[in-house]
Amino acid sequence: MTFAKIGSMMFGGGMAMLPLLQRELVDNKKWVTEEEILDYYAIGQCTPGIIAVNTATFVGRKRKGLPGGIAATLGVVFPSIVIITIIAAFLSNFADIKAVKDAFAAIRVCVCVLILNSVIKLGKKTVVDAPTAVIFVLVVAGMLLLDVSPVLFVIGGALCGIVIKSLGVGKK
Amino acid sequence: MMLLTLYWEFFKTGLFAVGGGLATLPFLKAMGAQYGWFTQAQLVDMVAVSEATPGPIGVNMATYVGFTHAGIPGAVVATLGLITPSIIIILIVASVLQKFRSNKYVEMGFYGMRPVSTGLIAAALIGLMIICLFGAGSIKDFAQTAVFAPKPLILFAALMVLTNIKKVKDLHPILFIAVSAVIGIIFNYSE
């Protein structure tokens, strides 16, 4: 299915896939409209799980119902499984070479920079007012100082959101 | 048994990681600490490999962890664990799309969940920076074990500036990773 092709072309995760999806699904296959894609994408982003997987499930379901949803999703993950398995199989053999160690020592620094940039970008979208800023700070502190599962914070955050909004605090 | 644990752990990650991609990072970090399936440094390597290969980062990470601990069945099982919650939730949401989007409690919940997700990633990042930039074990023994070596700090600062300059910042992350790899080899970063 087309989703296998998209899966194999998507570098760098989630956001990288929007333009590709538009070209494949809207322009070439005409399976969904531009607006539908954006809708799916927005929902994919605010439901748990991988955005690409969520979007694939959505489009697949619309086309062919339940089997379509599952087939599209498997299509998206299949190329990753193959590619990563190959890399993982080789990587362990190379891990002791000095050049590889040097390269990865520097790559790790680069990854920290990339993640930091993502956090800043995400922060601008998710930390929008005083209550969300407080939640953000509490979560960072809690994760660093306590030995608690991240799951608890996610559930706690949802409850806080409901309470805060019900009380009418925060940006409308 | 191993396969079952892998499936369950990644199922939880898929269920609670809100916001895609890097949202899986804090869960993986906790997983590594709990089961010892990978070290924190290996986790960062995995992020790099995922950035540099096609496909969603979360799926790549699940495949990688699964494969290194239980071979190909492990890779498949971990990935399926990760995507199962998505499939179920999306299939449900898709059938009640309009209601879901306008439900005020769903909206309220997400209002509180989004900063949590960002906070979790930020905390995971701080933990990784302590390891990758200062070579310290964890935040608790930071004062004793931190090393202030100039090489990683200079690279960090340089990349931070580069990735925020207009035009340069839109380049594909794989380019920054490749340049870093070359710098690492030339200047012996592992020493």
In a domain, A8, yes or no: yes
A70 and A135 in a single domain? The answer is: no
pLDDT tens by residue, A150-162? 888 888 888 998 8
Residues A139 and A80 in one domain: no
Summarised one tens digit per residue, pLDDT across range B61-119 is 888 888 888 888 988 999 899 888 888 887 787 777 667 667 788 778 878 888 888 88
Q: What average pLDDT score do residues B176-188 get? A: 85
* Residues of A whose CB is below 8 A from B105: 162
- The structural domain count of chain A equals 2
Range of the domain at A135: 98-167
Do both A24 and A77 map to the same domain?
yes
Q: Mark yes or no for CB contact A122/B189 under 8 Å.
A: no
Q: Which residues of chain A have pLDDT under 70?
A: 1-30, 32, 34-35, 37-51, 92, 95, 169-172
CA B41 – CA A39 distance, rounded (Å): 37
What does the pLDDT read at residue B121? 80
Size of interface A-B (CB pairs under 8 A): 385
Among A78, A80, A93, most B C-beta atoms within 10 A, so best to mutate, is: A80
Tokens of A61: 């379901």
Q: Are residues A52 and A69 in the same domain?
A: yes
Contact B60 A105 (CB under 8 A): no
Q: Stretch B128-142: mean pLDDT, rounded? A: 72
The shortest C-alpha distance from B98 to chain A (Å) reads: 11
**Do residues B3 and B71 touch, judged by C-beta distance below 8 A?**
no
Give B127's contacts in chain A (Cβ within 8 Å).
Answer: 144
End residue of a domain, out of A76, A94, A112: A94
Name the DSSP class of B188.
T
Could you tell me if residue A172 is inside a domain? Answer: no
Largest CA distance in chain A: 59
Chain A residues touching residue B187 (CB < 8 angstroms)? 102, 106
**Which residue of chain B is at minimal alpha-carbon distance from A100?**
B185
Map residue A149 onto helix, strand or coil.
Answer: coil
Yes or no, beta carbons of B55 and A7 under 8 Å apart = yes
Q: Where are the domains of chain B?
A: 2-141, 149-191
CB contact under 8 A, B59 and A50: yes
B126 interaction partners in chain A (CB closer than 8 Å): 140, 144
A86 and A106 inside one domain: no
> What residues does B54 pair with on adjacent strands?
A11
Q: Are residues A12 and A77 in the same domain?
A: yes
**What's the pTM?**
0.75
Q: Which pLDDT value is given to residue B143? A: 66
- The ipTM assigned to this model is 0.77
**pLDDT tens-digit readout, B12-60:** 888 887 765 677 888 888 888 888 888 887 888 877 777 766 667 778 8
- Please indicate, yes or no, whether residues A90 and A124 belong to a single structural domain of this protein: no
Q: Is A13 part of any domain?
A: yes
**Does a structural domain hold residue A50?**
yes
Q: What is the pLDDT of residue A169?
A: 63
- Count of helices and strands (H, E) across chain B: 9, 0
